[in-house]
Structure 1
Amino acid sequence: MMKYRNPALTVDTIIIKDSQIVLIKRLNDPHKNSWALPGGFVEYNEKVEIAAVREAKEETGLDVKLNQLVGVYSDPSRDPRGHTVSVVYTAEIVNGELNSGSDAKDAKFIDIDTLDDISLAFDHNEILTDAKNMNLLQSIEK
């Protein structure tokens, strides 16, 4: 019987508030101490949308509502641990206070205008560039 090797499924979330987004500082390798978007692995029997909301809460303390699919990122070299495929969303905060948790050493709001000056983990600079080019980094008007 043939054994298949499949990529791992992950999610990342661009949490937007006013003209800022949330970044977390990674607690663990790979990219330990690097800034990144909140995200992580999708659990077995879990929808990617649920995983994105769960990971955002675990890493930032924030309850979020997903707004827009940014894209699917699948470059086999995007994660040094192995081939991962990430589904990326934008989100807005619905409740909670920003604080670091689970795999995050720190969490902070950063101005969208300063994103080009920050080197992020994985392919998160590319993801943010794509979101910016699609005009997805504006706050949701209430």
Structure 2
Amino acid sequence: MPRAYLACPACGAQVKVYRNPVPTVDIIIEMAEGIVLIERRNEPFGWALPGGFVDYGETLEDAAIREAREETSLEIGSLRLVGCYSDPSRDARMHTISTVYATKGSGIPHAADDAAGLDVFPLAALPPSLCFDHAIILQDYIRLKRKGLL
């Protein structure tokens, strides 16, 4: 269990430690053939939406654009908000809150950075299991698309 207090290095006073969820972004990148999924290079292994942690001083939108470029080599345009996902158990490593965007991708997809592999999947032929809560996210995405809300 983490300590509830840290000692101030300057004066030795006890300073309370706060644990907060970590912000992340996930991106549903639409291509003519389907959506882009990456095969994760790091644990948990498997197929996932491109995405990652938001850097300090970075907007959610800028993080989505950066992560898409880093992991897929694609350029993305107007971001459409799909939703926010905050179940404390969505990532076994830590409590994260993900803001999820949908967008169109341009360029030739190529796995890079944290992605060991990459493929474009038609929505009707997604892998049977996805990392994190990405199956739930994609169900929401499909439902919103059918209703014409995305």
Q: Which amino acid in 2 is paired with 1:129?
A: Q
Range that drifts further, 80-89 or 11-20: 11-20
Give unmatched runs, 5+ long, in structure 1. none
Q: Which has the higher contact order (CA 8 A, sep 6+)?
A: 1
Secondary structure at the residue paired with 1:133? helix
AA paired with 1:133? R
State how 1:1-142 maps to structure 2 within 5 Å.
1-29=15-43, 31-32=44-45, 34-94=46-106, 96-115=107-126, 118-135=128-145
Q: Rg: which structure is higher? A: 2
* TM-score normalised by length of structure 2: 0.84
User: What 5-or-longer segments of structure 2 have no aligned partner?
Assistant: 1-14
Name the TM-score, length of structure 1 as normaliser: 0.89
Deviation at 1:19, TM superposition (A): 4.7
The one-letter code matched in structure 1 to 2:145 is: N
The answer to whether the Cα contact below 8 Å between 2:33 and 2:120 also exists between their aligned partners in 1 is: no
Identity of aligned residues (%): 47
Runs of 4+ in 1 over 4 A off after TM superposition: none
Q: 1:127: Cα distance to partner?
A: 0.1
SS state at 2:70 partner? helix
